[in-house]
């Protein structure tokens, strides 16, 4: 039996400037900053998490800050666009809001019957806003964007590859996705039996495109949901049985994770839904403190000197 999936858990990209990143994703896109911590494998790097009011799986966009990192190049094999969903009638609002913030916007164009706006964040990360007829996501009511227009969570990610067959096999054979449609070399896969946020993955064949290079503005990995550790363990066994190298389970405090590269070369993660971001901060206080794993508490003084220079949402400075 093929263990199912509930779709996208989170997407992690790279920024060269944490403050600029916070200002854009909180101030312009209206997401909630739900956690400030460090890269668990590199405590010199901040790890910023944005999402809905609770940081629910399917809404969480995260960034490693590597200051002064050169800008990368977006291209295969990578996640080449991250799409957020809003109500279908809100695309006009978002086009106006983005242009008013000095963001260059293309579209809307129609894709699989839905309107899509495309733009870049300050690091060059490709972001899309997709208008949907109905969303299972919940808007953050306390954010700067009127709730009737606010982001509900992920719509999808686009993965660009030289060829789609290997990636398609991993999505359908290992991850529980089903082919939902094809449009001009773009293949859409949808989490089987799932109508929640982040249920879609698009695979684009781009055999003639320049290969991507890791750096600022590039997506580092995409994570998919496992309901619990038991489901994750079953998925890990299946991945290893397919001859793919898969990591041991890693404790990321807010979820447990395993990692592997799908046949096309993109780094996939499978993360558990729990325990969630309120495990070390109350829901009302999410994203207001510097939270460190126990093994880095000895570095808190050094890390806090950098953290104190950040201006968090709603603050005039600290």
The answer to whether the CB of 133 falls within 8 A of the CB of 227 is no
Supply the CATH number for residue 192's domain: 3.10.180.10
pLDDT score recorded for residue 3: 52
In a domain, 1, yes or no: no
Q: Tell me the pLDDT tens digit for each residue of 63-77.
A: 999 999 999 999 999
Asked whether residue 57 is domain-assigned, the answer is yes
Give the per-residue pLDDT at 196: 82
**What are 253-268's pLDDT values in tens digits?**
999 999 999 999 999 9
Is 35 contained in some domain? Answer: yes
Q: Is residue 192 part of a domain?
A: yes
The pLDDT > 90 percentage for the chain reads: 91
- The number of domains in the chain is 1
The predicted pLDDT at position 136 comes to 81
Instruction: Please check whether residue 37 lies inside any domain of the structure.
Output: yes
Strand partners, 35: 49
Nearest to 191 by CA among 181, 206, 201, 182: 201
Per-residue pLDDT tens digits for 43-55: 999 999 999 999 9
175 against 196, higher pLDDT: 175
Domain that residue 84 falls in: 8-307
pLDDT number for residue 194? 63
| Rounded-to-integer distance, Cα 129 and Cα 83, Å | 6
Residue 318 binned pLDDT confidence (cut-offs 50, 70, 90): very low
pLDDT of residue 234: 95
Flag whether pLDDT at 215 surpasses 60. Answer: yes
185-193: average pLDDT = 91
The answer to whether residue 315 sits within a structural domain is no
Question: What average pLDDT score do residues 287-296 get?
Answer: 96
pLDDT at residue 177 is higher than 80: yes
Per-residue pLDDT at 150 exceeds 90: yes
Cβ-in-10-Å burial (0-12, 13-18, 19+) of 222 comes to buried
Task: Classify residue 316: in a domain, yes or no.
Answer: no
Residue 81 has pLDDT above 50, yes or no: yes
pLDDT at 315 over 80: no
Do 82 and 157 meet the contact criterion of CB atoms below 8 Å apart? yes
2 in a structural domain: no
pLDDT tier, 1 (very low <50, low <70, confident <90, very high otherwise)? very low
SS (H, E, C) the chain: CCCCCCCEEEEEEEECCHHHHHHHHHHHCCCEEEEEEEECCEEEEEEEEEECCCCCCCCEEEEEECCCCCECECCCCEEEEEEEEEEHHHHHHHHHHHHHCCCCCEEEEEECCEEEEEEECCCCCEEEEEEECCCCCCCCCCCCCCCCCCCCEEEEEEEEECCCHHHHHHHHHCCCEEEEEEECCEEEEEECCCCCCCCEEEEEECCCCCCCECCECCEEEEEEEECCHHHHHHHHHHHHHCCCCECCCEECCCEEEEEEECCCCCEEEEEEEEECHHHCCCHHHCCCCECCCHHHHHHHHHHHHHHCCCCCCCCCCC
Q: Is the pLDDT of residue 134 over 70?
A: yes
């Amino acid at each position: 039996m093929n263990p199912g999936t509930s779709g996208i858990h989170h997407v992690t990209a790279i920024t060269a400037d944490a403050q600029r990143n916070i200002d854009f994703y909180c101030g312009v896109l209206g997401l909630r900053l739900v956690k400030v911590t460090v890269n668990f494998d590199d405590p010199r790097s901040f790890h910023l998490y944005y999402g809905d009011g609770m940081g629910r799986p399917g809404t969480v966009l995260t960034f490693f800050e590597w200051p002064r990192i050169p800008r990368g190049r977006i291209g295969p094999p990578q996640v080449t666009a991250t799409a957020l969903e809003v109500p279908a009638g809100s695309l006009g609002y978002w086009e106006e809001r983005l242009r008013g913030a000095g963001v260059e916007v293309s579209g809307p164009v129609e894709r699989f019957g839905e309107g899509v706006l495309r733009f870049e964040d300050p690091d060059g990360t490709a972001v899309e806003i997709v208008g949907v007829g109905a969303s299972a996501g919940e808007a953050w009511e306390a954010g700067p964007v009127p709730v009737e227009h606010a982001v509900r969570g992920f719509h999808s990610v686009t993965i660009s590859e030289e060829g789609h067959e290997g990636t398609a096999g991993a999505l359908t054979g290992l991850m529980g996705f089903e082919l939902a449609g094809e449009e001009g070399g773009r293949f859409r896969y949808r989490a089987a039996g799932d109508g929640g946020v982040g249920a879609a993955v698009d695979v684009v064949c781009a055999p003639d495109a320049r290969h991507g290079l890791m750096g600022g503005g590039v997506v580092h990995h995409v994570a998919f949901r496992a309901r619990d550790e038991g489901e994750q363990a079953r998925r890990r066994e299946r991945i290893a049985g397919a001859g793919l190298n898969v990591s041991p389970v890693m404790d990321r405090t807010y979820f447990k994770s395993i990692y592997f590269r799908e046949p096309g070369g993109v780094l996939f993660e499978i993360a558990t839904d729990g325990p969630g971001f309120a495990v070390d901060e109350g829901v009302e206080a999410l994203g207001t403190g510097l939270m460190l794993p126990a093994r880095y508490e000895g570095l808190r003084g050094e890390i806090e000197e950098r953290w104190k220079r950040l201006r968090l949402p709603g603050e005039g400075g600290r």
